[in-house]
Amino acid sequence: MYILDTDRKIWLPLAVALLTLQPLQDALAFPAKLFGYSQHPQTDKQVFGQWIQALERHIQIDTPEGDCHESTFNRCHLRNWQSFLDDLKNRPRDQQLDAVNRYANQKEYILDIDNYGIEDYWAVPREFLYNNGDCEDYAITKLFSLRWLGFPMDELRIVVLQDTNLRIPHAVLAVADHNDIMIMDNQIHEVISHRDIVHYAPVYSINEKHWWIHLPN
């Protein structure tokens, strides 16, 4: 996956440059630090074309009727996902997080180049649940699943980061939980606190309306 969808990977020098953009004034639900990195709210979300396109597809694309045995995603497949979420409606919050994480993580990891023929593609749930996907696709489906369950947008962020062990970019879903941040990761079976992960260096995080640069102190 690319750190930004403009065929440019965003590393620390670019992150510093982006700090010159006008900051947001919102006091959001997240604790001040993520993986020990400070957060700096930004306003110009247009740099994230892939994310904006994913949001538009999630809203606009009509899913056709069909049978669950058909080779293209249809409303039968979509109803299976919605039924799974409906069963979670009255569960405790931690059980919802765990179930959504396990549900998405059972999908097969497939690179975008093999799945869609392009280097970077941010898939919406109807695409990921049928085609499988890579790390940001797991995170996107988890985000929309939790939104369906009623989680406020301000508690959710897709975090694009550097895995310092594997030395590759990666993406996870971060969920604010009181004074903690819980991480939903396709590489980790359980939902765990960000404090328990020492090899992730966040670069930026984003939700449906805002985005943040993360810098080491």
pLDDT confidence bin for 127, thresholds 50/70/90: confident
**Distance (Å, whole) CA 158 – CA 173:** 5
Q: Which two tokens stand for residue 199?
A: 């090899």
What percentage of the chain has pLDDT greater than the value 70? 74
Q: What average pLDDT does range 54-75 have in this prediction?
A: 64
Reported as half-sphere exposure (CB side, CA atoms, 13 A), residue 95 has a value of 8
Per CATH, the architecture of 12-215 is what?
A: Roll (3.10)
Environment class of residue 108 by beta-carbon count within 10 Å: exposed (0-12), middle (13-18) or buried (19+)?
exposed
pTM: 0.81
Question: Does the pLDDT of residue 21 top 50, yes or no?
Answer: no
- What pLDDT shows up at residue 167? 93
Higher-pLDDT residue of 28 and 43 is 43
Q: Where are the domains of the chain?
A: 12-215
Place of tokens 């990666």: 170
| R_g (Cα) of the chain, nearest Å | 17
Inter-residue contact 51 to 206 (CB < 8 Å): yes
Question: Does the pLDDT of residue 37 top 50, yes or no?
Answer: yes
- What pLDDT shows up at residue 56? 63
